[in-house]
Structure 1
Amino acid sequence: MNYIKTLFLILFFTVTIYFLGILGRKKCDSFSLTEILLNGLLRLFGSFEVIILPFILLRAKFSYFFYCYCFVLLGTVIFSIFKYARYSLQYIGKDVRKFISALDMPLIAAILMVIFQMSMLAFYMHIDADDAMYVATAATTLKTDTMYQYAADTGILLNAMPSRYVLSPFPIFTAFLGKLFFIHPTIIAHTILAPLMTGFAYLVYYLIGSLIFNKKKGMIGIFLVVLSTFQIWGYFTVYSSSSFILIRSWQGKAVLAGVLIPAALYYLIKACQTKPQYKWQISSSLFLVLSASLVSSMGIMLIPTLLGLSAVLFCIYNKTFEPLIKCIISCSPAILLMIIYLLMKFGRFCP
């Protein structure tokens, strides 16, 4: 029965992020299917962060948020399906045929290596001390129908919400999937989210490779094979990138390190290659900032810092303030979250 639920969850996840990612796309836009999936993941995470925070700070029940977000998500996806379903059938077929025609031995080897790594995460489980916080938070959310009102490790009622975790409620996303498909959060985290996030990490690296080796046949596959080899043999410490991508990919901070920071680099590289010389996409960077804020409290600071420094450099290079202004607009949610965190930290705001 759990296998059937897992298949439905993967199908739901894929269809949802595709139709979220294609929403607003014009037929003349040159987006690949992989980039649409990445955009959809960012929009899923970003919308989750925006909608859930008011419910958490108002101490509303988790079930209230669950039905509200299901209504918003279902309505958006249905609208996108009615608008893009017919076009998507032609577009996906064309993009898949183009990808198959470009297959070579290095790329096939890279795909097999990625599938092997994902299967290891699906059939074997790594026990991490952080389970006592992240998975326990998701389980406590479902058990008590509250969010961050009980200590996940001891179960006692909290007088104030934990300022370190409350603004980045990625465990609640795990609880959301668990309630939606009637699967325990531990299974969601270790067996389903772990391989999915590892797959998305390599999807982002594929996009980066397609920009760097655009016209060099076979180089993308070699790039991914070398990268996969380093990742497989890179678990020399619990803080290495390999441990986050291959061992702890179900954790929010691993999603930040393995998926979102490389995604930020991808968008910056792509912006450098567009004409005019620098074209800042507010939508992509805004959802990137919101997604980073959802998965980790460090993401509230790291992604805006990366985008801000890049915007300053491009302002100097292009002699215009437009990228910096767009960057500030994109990073405004993170700035607001920083202010809320400081107010909670020093007792000025106690939800």
Structure 2
Amino acid sequence: MFTVLLILLSLSLHLLVFFSLGFLTETLLKLKNPSFPRCLVLGYVVYFALFECLVLPMTFLKVRLSVFSIVWGILLCILVLLSVILPGKKRIRQLFRFSGQLSDRQLVWSILLALCIAFQVIAVVLYQDTSADGAYYVGTTATSVYTDTLGRYNPYTGAPLQVFPSRYIFSAYPMHNAFVSCILHIPAIIQSKIVMPALNVLAANSLYYLLGLRLFSNRKKQASLFVLFLFLLNLMTGTLYTPGTFLFTRSYEGKALLANFSAFFVLYCCLWLYQNKKTNLPWLLLFLGNICATTFSGTAIFLPILVCSAALPVLWHRRSRSQLYRLCLCLLPNIIYTLAYLAAEMNLLVLSAQ
């Protein structure tokens, strides 16, 4: 029973932080018509982008996990408070007003959408993967918590690392689980295999809904159908290498988030750019999304290919060469990540862990 309460507490705190950061981001960017799905998606992106920027330097400086947890926890508390203070009562009322604007038909589709997402959440929570990757993610979190360090121990053996593994160290997603396990005293395996998969599925489906709104001119029924179609597509056409398989069976992994969240976020931002020529906000979100992607997995070094494939046709359509520099800035996080990884692989950069 106590474990169930810990799971519910962790889920609640995650949602509070994600929604707060998303609402604060919408307010600062002056986005109209705030909504819960967009707040969740933006908060998810901003959280992991900021997390990566803070945890990486502290990892290389060999800061203790407990110290990092205090610093990051204080920063999150400040941001959550700002999300309540800055927007004002009027904008908060706008956020809650959308529920009263649903027609009976839209309400039916919203219920079906909620049931679809609930089914996926239950499926990923009940499914237990015991692969080597699963051992790495849980082991990294557990060794970091029990040694009060940031990824400085071998997750398979528990032995101290002499050098940080270049393949994993630049992607700090497991350290998020270590942070939560540290402050809530929730077991690493529960945080990694139950809490985060549920949240990852919720964030991914919220993003699919936003993408559906972009594709179908803000029509909620069609957006809900789009999410249901993606669900059936992932469920019925799964193979070992399709994104749906990773979403349903390995949603605790960074690679699954890269395929099922980051890639779709790139498409969402580029579609926003295509539909609205007067705004540059998607460029900023794309930049944050690329930082967020590096948090999830080293495979983010290939994300610039997708970004260019989606953004260059938009720039060609606009006949705008001047915005190429914005595209280059968006790719900067991935380029820095790639250069650091290659330097470490060629022993030009020594990542000492002791």
Q: TM-score, normalised by structure 2?
A: 0.90
Structure-2 residue corresponding to 1:122:
125
Query: Distance between the aligned counterparts of 1:102 and 1:55, measured in 2?
Result: 51
Q: CA offsets, 1:126-166, max 9 Å, x none?
A: 33331221111111111112223221112222221100000
Question: Which residue does 2:303 correspond to in 1?
Answer: 303
Q: 2:166 aligns with which of 163, 178, 203?
A: 163
Letter in 2 for 1:326: R
Q: CA RMSD in A?
A: 2.2
Distance 1:33 1:322, change over 3 A: farther
For 1:51-130, list aligned pairs within 5 A. 51-84=54-87, 86-99=89-102, 103-130=106-133
What percent identity do the matched residue pairs reach? Answer: 24
Match of 2:271 in 1: 269
Q: 1:40 aligned to 2:43?
A: yes
The answer for unaligned runs of 5 or more in structure 1 is none
User: C-alpha separation between the residues in 1 aligned to 2:104 and 2:54?
Assistant: 42
Q: Give me the whole-angstrom Cα distance separating, in 2, the residues matched to 1:99 and 1:182.
A: 40
| Residues 126-275 of structure 1 mapped to structure 2, 5 A cutoff | 126-214=129-217, 218-237=221-240, 239-275=241-277
**Which residue is equivalent to 2:282?**
281
In 2, the alpha carbon distance for the partners of 1:130 and 1:117 equals: 21
Q: Which amino acid aligns with 1:333?
A: P
Is 1:320 matched with 2:320? Answer: yes
2:295 alignment counterpart: 294
Change (3 A) 1:236 1:103: same
Partner Cα distance (1:293, 1:135) in 2 = 19
CA–CA separation in structure 2 for the residues paired with 1:38 and 1:342: 31
Aligned length: 348
**C-alpha distance in structure 2 between counterparts of 1:266 and 1:31, whole Å:** 17
Question: Is the alpha carbon distance of 1:222 and 1:28 closer, same or farther for their aligned partners in structure 2, counting shifts above 3 Å?
Answer: closer
8 Å contact kept, 1:197–1:255: yes
- Of the structure 1 ranges 111-120 and 94-103, higher mean CA displacement relative to structure 2 is found in 94-103
Q: Give the C-alpha shift of residue 37 in structure 1.
A: 1.5
Q: Which runs of 5+ in 2 are unaligned?
A: none
Residue 106 of structure 1 contacts residue 225 of structure 1 at CA under 8 Å; is this kept in 2? Answer: no
**AA aligned opposite 1:120:** A
Closer, same or farther: CA 219–317 of 1 in aligned 2, 3 Å: closer
| CA distances 1:46-105 after superposition (whole Å, capped 9, x unpaired) | 000000110112222222222111122211221222223634541222122234656254
**Aligned amino acid, residue 117 of structure 2:** V
Change (3 A) 1:34 1:169: same
Residue 259 and residue 244 in structure 1: after superposition, are their counterparts in 2 closer, same or farther (change >3 A)? same
Q: By how many angstroms is 1:254 displaced?
A: 0.7
- Amino acid of the residue matched to residue 286 of structure 1? F
For residues 218 and 157 of structure 2, the distance between their equivalents in structure 1, rounded to whole angstroms, comes to 56
Distance in 1 (alpha carbons) for counterparts of 2:345 and 2:311? 30
TM-score (structure 1 length as normaliser): 0.91
Q: Would you say the 8 A contact 1:280–1:326 is kept in 2?
A: no
| Alpha-carbon shift at residue 215 of structure 1 (Å) | 6.1
C-alpha displacement at 1:219, in angstroms? Answer: 2.6
| CA drift at 1:307 | 2.0
User: How many Å apart are 1:298 and its aligned residue?
Assistant: 0.7
Q: Secondary structure of 1:236's match? A: coil
1:350 is the counterpart of 2:350: yes
Q: Which residue in 2 is equivalent to 1:7?
A: 8
> What's the CA shift for 1:212?
1.5
